[in-house]
Amino acid sequence: MKLLNLNISFEQYTGIGELGEQDQSLCKKAEQALESSYSPYSKFRVGTAIRLASGETILGSNQENLAYPSGLCAERVALFSIGSNQPNAIIESMAITAQTDNFNITKPITSCGGCLQVMAEFERKQATPIEVIFYCLNGEILKVPSVKSLLPFSFVEDRLER
């Protein structure tokens, strides 16, 4: 038996003002994406902004459905939009934020396991890291250099690609 350790590095910021101009802009666009959230049941709005290597920004927001499993998270809405409309686009960075009227969100929300797997697939497909920024409105921000940092054991089965 071997005991192995896994460590990740990430950056922590106390507010948006500590980020560079490009990252601040991406976070503000994630805030804008909150406006298109369809979340009448949970009242928990999530917005994602994705910066492509071309400089274009793609937005996504969570879309709920009365049959809960039929909804979709903001990250996947944006990523699947890129996959279907710009399949060869390179993703540089994505910012994710959330807001609700039910309580005060004081820490950055992170992506669910399903979204992390989809993010990992996009990163693997493009063979370059995707930076992820978890942005708490008026609060702390976490920034990771790669999806691999968040999901080091993503599902991969090379034989399925044949």
**pLDDT for position 63:** 98
- Tokens read off for 112: 């669910």
**pLDDT for position 160:** 67
Domain extents for the chain?
11-152
**Rounded Cα distance, 155 and 151, in Å:** 9
CATH number for the region 11-152 comes to 3.40.140.10
Residue 158: pLDDT over 90: no
**Torsion angle in degrees (nearest 10) through CA of 117, 60, 26, 83:** 60
Place of tokens 């805030």: 31
What share of the chain has pLDDT > 70, as a percent?
97
CB 67 within 8 A of CB 39: no
126 phi/psi in degrees, rounded to 5: -90, -10
pLDDT in tens, 41-53: 999 999 999 999 9
pLDDT in tens, 63-102: 999 998 899 999 999 999 999 999 999 999 999 999 999 9
